[in-house]
């Protein structure tokens, strides 16, 4: 061990213990600062390639007009093209809650309009006064 330390000091490098539990312990002569720098750069490069997907939400009402629907669909399409998941929510107010079939029809229309850039994760789900469906971007886009 002392000879390894003197060899490392002579070469101007560090003696790094690689496997302390092995018998005898395994050590390596290297520039530890340079090694740590390379590990940090590799981790940073990995984070750069990693894409973060967000969940964007588009809110609709059951009695939405065609122009407003088109506007919301353009936004949803843009979100999907940016590789984000989209949560389409239909909000019911007052007595609209008595007609959940209007919300299902609207969400089905949304899924059909966005079928070229995304696909629904499942069927529409009702939670309180909200009905929603998640749309994920297609793999080819």
Percent of the chain with pLDDT over 90: 60
- The model's pLDDT over 88-102, given as tens digits with 9 standing for 90+, comes to 999 999 999 999 999
Rounded Cα distance between 32 and 12, Å, is: 11
Across the strands, what pairs with 28? 16
Helix (H, G, I), strand (E, B) or coil at 6: helix
DSSP character for 121? S
Rounded Cα distance between 103 and 15, Å, is: 68
Interval 18-35 mean pLDDT: 86
pLDDT exceeds 70 at position 114: yes
Structural domains in the chain, sorted by start = 2-48 (3.10.20.80), 55-137 (3.30.110.10)
pLDDT exceeds 70 at position 141: no
Across the strands, what pairs with 139? none
CB 55 within 8 A of CB 74: no
Across the strands, what pairs with 86? 56, 135
């Amino acid at each position: 061990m002392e000879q390894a330390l003197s060899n490392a000091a002579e070469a101007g490098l560090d003696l790094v213990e690689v496997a302390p539990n092995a018998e005898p312990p395994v050590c390596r002569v290297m520039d530890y600062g340079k090694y740590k720098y390379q590990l940090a750069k590799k981790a940073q490069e990995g984070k750069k390639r990693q894409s973060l997907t967000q969940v964007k939400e588009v809110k609709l009402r059951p009695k939405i007009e065609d122009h407003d629907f088109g506007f919301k669909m353009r936004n949803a399409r843009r979100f999907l093209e940016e590789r984000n998941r989209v949560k389409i929510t239909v909000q019911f107010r007052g007595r609209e809650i008595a007609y959940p079939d209007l919300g299902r029809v609207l969400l089905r229309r949304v899924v059909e309009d966005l079928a070229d850039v995304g696909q629904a994760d499942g069927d529409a789900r009702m939670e309180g006064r909200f009905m929603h469906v998640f749309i994920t971007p297609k793999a080819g886009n």
